Structure 1
Amino acid sequence: MTAQIIIDRMFDLSDETRAEGQRRFFKTGKGEYGENDKFIGVNMPSLRATIKDAHAIPLDELEILLDSEFHEIRMAGLLILVQKYKKKKLYSQDEMVAFYLDNLAAANNWDLVDSTAYHILGDYLLDKPRETLYDLASSESVWFRRIAIVSTLALIKKRQYETTFELVEMLKHHKEDILQKALGWALREVIKKGGKVEGLGYIEKNKLSLPKKVISIAIEDLSPIEKSKVRGA
């Protein structure tokens, strides 16, 4: 399979009415986080069906997809990379992670980040130093910063929480809504995935400096009594 075959199949599935809704949903207006992103109107079930057997595509062909101006085509490329990473065929995980990092600009909206970051980068760093995450967290790009914190979901599943707390500390002063939601999500996952004591302890220690939105998302699965206790009510 080639990139052009995938692109042609995607355009065969395109729908302008759906594309218009996607442009609104993903905030592509002037000054919004997805400003100028382009959509062709392919839904996710159709996209996934199109690429289900594409894991053998070479990386140079995959790069064509990631360089596309169209959101769904970049998504297709990123999801194929996740497939390739999990199958561990043709390329080593070292090669695929390096490729992912070289092409991070393709992941320039929250769904593109969330569909890939912890599946590839987070998984890869389970038993490795985490400098890459701290470098990404220092980026001017809100999407690189979101990649850093979302990648820790893989660590959280293995009850490795400290990197999440350190990144929240680095990122909590940023005002972007799309980043604060990710910080809250990561802390909520700590609480849900075996780290309730550690997660609530971190929030209690830092609740005066944590944005209210981050705390609200982090504790949304707690009981009303627990929520009141966290908020000090």
Structure 2
Amino acid sequence: MSELLTAEDVRAALEATASVDERAKIQRRMTDQATSVIGVRMGTVFEIARQGSGMPLHEVDRLLDSDAYEMRMVAVSILDFKARKRGADREALYELWMRRLDRIDTWDFIDRSAPRVVGWYLLDKPRDVLFELARSDDRWHRRTSITAAFWIIRAGDLDDPLALCDILADDPEHLVQTNVGVALREIGRVDRSRLEEFLERRGDALSAQARRTARTAL
């Protein structure tokens, strides 16, 4: 299988490698029990996505329609693989991702694709959308905002990521706090003094885990 071109090809490949044991393992970590699980180990899911990285975006869109966890993981992984390619149409990838934001609704869908698909596209653009997401009532939108910022931090641009951390410092959601901690750690690796200033000013608002993660850069 050199390249997957359709959503049906992906489902067939996933179902061919599914197991009852893997399905039970994945179901235990689902944050939304309405999400169906085929039962495919993540290494296989990512390999199927890699082999299908040339898939047209309209077929990726169809993958996102699926209620199956692995189908949508393949979709976001393909978007990530496409974003890595030289000459990638980052605007098209970003627009699809944002249009289907409602389908990117687990922590690992976000972590798998938001940095390169969203953050990379926004490197040289206004980041208003990230601030809108950071103020959303939806926990996945808030996690998206800070996770997309990872790529911006990597570029050495710290102002907006720090402002996002400020908004999310006292977020009540554990799955948002964990990535605030990661963002702060990466900020500290670029500019220790700015992390120190943030922790002095806002450290008490962070969860204990986020604070510990951030301090590993000191």
Normalising by the residue count of structure 1, what TM-score does the alignment of the two structures yield?
0.86
Partners of 2:209 and 2:51 in 1: how far apart?
A: 40
Give CA deviations for 1:144-177 in whole Å, capped at 9, x if unaligned. Answer: 1101001111011111111111111112222111
Superimposed CA distance per residue, residues 191-232 of structure 1 (whole angstroms, 9 cap, x where no aligned partner): 12x21111111111222333333212211354xxxxxxxxxx
Matched, 1:203 2:207: no
Structure 1 residue 93, shift from structure 2 partner = 1.8
Q: Could you tell me which residue of structure 2 aligns to residue 64 of structure 1?
A: 62
Match status 1:22 vs 2:22: no
Q: Residue in 2 aligned with 1:220?
A: 216
State the shift of 1:124 in Å: 0.8
Distance 1:177 1:116 in 2: 20
Name the stretch that deviates more: 8-17 or 78-87: 78-87
Tell me, in whole angstroms, the C-alpha distance in 1 between the residues paired with 2:186 and 2:41. 27
Tell me if structure 1 keeps the 8 A contact 2:80–2:113.
Answer: yes
Select 1:92's aligned residue among 89, 92, 105. 89
Question: How far apart in 1 are the matches of 2:19 and 2:178?
Answer: 30
**Range with bigger deviation, 160-169 or 35-44:** 35-44
1:39 positional shift: 1.5
Q: Shift of residue 37 of structure 1?
A: 2.3
1:208 aligned counterpart, secondary structure: helix
Question: What aligned pairs does 1:65-84 form with structure 2 within 5 A after superposition?
Answer: 65-84=63-82
1:10 partnered with 2:23: no
Q: Is the 8 A contact 2:23 2:39 kept in 1?
A: yes
The answer for the alignment partner of 2:52 in structure 1 is: 54
Whether contact under 8 Å (2:45, 2:70) holds in the other structure is yes
Check 1:210–1:47 CA distance in 2 against 1; reply closer, same or farther (3 A cut).
closer
Sequence identity percentage: 26
Q: Is the 8 A contact 2:120 2:151 kept in 1?
A: yes
Judging changes above 3 Å, is the alpha-carbon distance between structure 1 residues 203 and 146 closer, same or farther for their aligned structure 2 residues? same
The reply on whether 1:119 has 2:116 as its aligned counterpart is yes
**Amino acid in the other structure paired with 2:26:** Q
Q: Does residue 1:187 correspond to 2:187, yes or no?
A: no
Structure 1 unmatched runs, 5+: 223-233
Indicate if the aligned counterparts of 2:188 and 2:217 stay in contact, CA closer than 8 A. Answer: no
Structure 2: unaligned runs, 5 residues or longer: none
Question: Residues 112-151 of structure 1: matches in 2 within 5 Å?
Answer: 112-151=109-148
Secondary structure of residue in 2 paired with 1:52 = helix
Report if the CA contact (8 A) 2:169-2:202 is conserved. Answer: no
Q: Deviations over 1:73-111 (max 9, x none)?
A: 10001111122233366x732122111100112221111
Per the TM alignment, residue 179 of structure 1 is displaced from its structure 2 partner at its CA by 0.8
Partner residue of 2:43? 45
Q: Secondary structure at the match of 2:204?
A: coil
For residues 171 and 48 of structure 1, the distance between their equivalents in structure 2, rounded to whole angstroms, comes to: 31
The letter of the residue matching 2:212 is S
Q: Describe the SS at the equivalent of 2:146.
A: helix
TM-score, normalised to structure 2, is: 0.91
For 1:83 and 1:157, the matched residues in 2 are separated by 18
How many Å separate the matches in 1 of 2:84 and 2:215? 32
Aligned partner letter, 2:192: K
Mapped contact 2:177–2:206 kept (Cα < 8 A)? no
3-state SS, counterpart of residue 116 of structure 1: helix
Instruction: Single out whichever of 114-123 and 169-178 deviates more from structure 2.
Output: 169-178
Between the aligned partners of 1:35 and 1:218, the Cα distance in structure 2 is 31
Deviates more, 1:131-140 or 1:33-42: 33-42
